[in-house]
């Protein structure tokens, strides 16, 4: 059972995920103005795997110009021995709907031109460059999940995944890289929005909506794939209530949303979870209607929970979500309340 590629992030900017450690005072704006697409200048597209110094001349004794961060876009103009003359983007890259556009030559601040050591640089002509970038991005993602990991690991992972599908668009790893970049971007926004008072509002339309452009692009570009299914599951976040506040409308509507997802992606990597989320909400509705004295609706919700649990048992017999759904049915049959789980 594949888990979301990032769950705990530490970053100096805003970071995301269900259990993230957030930097203070971080603000993310999901609304981004589209820029006209521009091609990088002549040269070989490249990116560093480590923080790398840019020098005025090809020598470590030369004046240092700037540090180029992991995953930044560069264009290699020429090579001299073990040194590369590059144009490198050092400005803040936008993490929004235009994140997959080339940015060299289109940033507010122009790229810097200088020299850097060639070691640790992956270019479009690097043998197995796509695999190297995938490994580097996955490593940064793992570091981001560690409580003592580097502060910028989540952003480095996002940029490296972005570089992979930009530099190697025909790589078999490109669809996964695009999904992972989009998911990290989504989790970054989600964590930031969760700090706003409006995130607790019952109705979804009262929440700050997350920018799902990158996720929708994954669905459009790779329909019917596991990456499309993963992207579609993320997008459900925009449709969920903040807090249910004892209202039956939220779990009723959300149960339907998860059931429709499971119907659309019957064999997806999030289908078992979607069926469980629907079953859980039906179990909660059973309790809610029982408290209200509406036996007819309580019985209907109980049977729907049972049906969803059976669907899980048939389709995913060895999945944790199947066993958890079975536990819900057992509790309902025993008259044990299940409204102990986190709502929304």
Going from N- to C-terminal start, the domains of the chain cover 1-203, 240-344
Cα–Cα nearest to 184, from 220, 140, 119 = 140
Query: pLDDT tens digits, residue range 87-117?
Result: 998 765 544 444 544 444 444 568 899 999 9
Q: If you search the block for the tokens 């540090």, which residue do you land on?
A: 67
DSSP symbol at 90: -
CA distance 28 to 14: 7
Q: Cite the beta strand spans of the chain per DSSP E.
A: 44-48, 52-55, 64-68, 74-80, 83-88, 112-117, 121-123
CA distance 163 to 161: 5
Is 311 a residue whose pLDDT tops 50?
A: yes
Helix axes 226-235, 213-221, angle to 10 degrees: 150
Torsion of the alpha carbons at 53, 54, 56 and 61, rounded to the nearest 10: 20
Is 138 a residue whose pLDDT tops 80?
A: yes
Is 192 a residue whose pLDDT tops 60?
A: yes
Query: pLDDT tens digits, residue range 255-305?
Result: 999 999 999 999 999 999 999 999 999 999 999 999 999 999 999 999 999
CA distance 139 to 202: 38
pTM of structure: 0.81
Query: pLDDT tens digits, residue range 202-244?
Result: 576 566 788 999 999 999 999 999 999 999 999 999 999 988 8
The whole-chain average pLDDT of the chain stands at: 83
Both ends of the chain: CA-CA distance in Å? 22
Mean pLDDT of 160-185: 97
Is 324 a residue whose pLDDT tops 70?
A: yes
Query: pLDDT tens digits, residue range 51-80?
Result: 999 999 999 999 999 999 999 999 999 999
């Amino acid at each position: 059972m594949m888990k979301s590629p990032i769950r705990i992030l530490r970053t100096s900017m805003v970071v995301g995920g269900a259990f993230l450690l957030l930097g203070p005072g971080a603000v993310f704006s999901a609304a981004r103005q589209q820029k006209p697409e521009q091609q990088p200048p002549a040269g070989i597209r490249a990116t560093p795997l480590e923080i790398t110094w840019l020098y005025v001349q090809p020598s470590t004794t030369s004046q240092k110009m700037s540090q180029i961060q992991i995953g930044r876009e560069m264009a290699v103009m020429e090579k001299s021995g073990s040194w590369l003359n590059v144009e490198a983007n050092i400005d803040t890259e936008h993490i929004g709907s235009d994140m997959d556009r080339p940015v060299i030559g289109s940033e507010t601040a122009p790229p810097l031109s200088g020299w850097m050591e060639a070691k640790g640089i992956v270019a479009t002509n690097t043998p197995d460059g796509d695999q190297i970038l995938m490994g580097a991005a996955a490593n940064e993602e793992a570091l981001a999940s560690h409580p003592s990991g580097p502060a910028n690991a989540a952003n480095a992972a996002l940029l490296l995944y972005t570089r992979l599908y930009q530099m190697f668009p025909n790589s078999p790893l490109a669809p996964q890289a695009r999904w992972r970049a989009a998911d990290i971007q989504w989790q970054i926004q989600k964590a930031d929005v969760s700090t706003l008072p409006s995130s607790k509002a019952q109705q979804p339309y009262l929440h700050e909506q997350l920018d799902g452009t990158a996720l929708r692009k994954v669905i459009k570009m790779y329909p019917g794939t596991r990456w499309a299914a993963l992207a579609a599951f993320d997008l459900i976040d925009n449709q969920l209530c903040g807090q249910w506040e004892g209202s039956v409308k939220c779990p009723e509507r959300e149960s339907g949303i998860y059931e429709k997802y499971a119907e659309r992606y019957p064999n997806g990597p999030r289908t078992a979870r979607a069926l469980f989320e629907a079953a859980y909400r039906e179990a909660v509705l059973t309790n809610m209607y029982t408290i209200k004295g509406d036996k007819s609706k309580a019985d209907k919700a109980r049977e729907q929970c049972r049906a969803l649990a059976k669907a899980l048992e048939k389709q995913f017999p060895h999945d944790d979500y199947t066993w958890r759904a079975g536990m819900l049915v057992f509790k309902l049959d025993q008259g044990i309340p299940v409204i102990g789980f986190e709502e929304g």
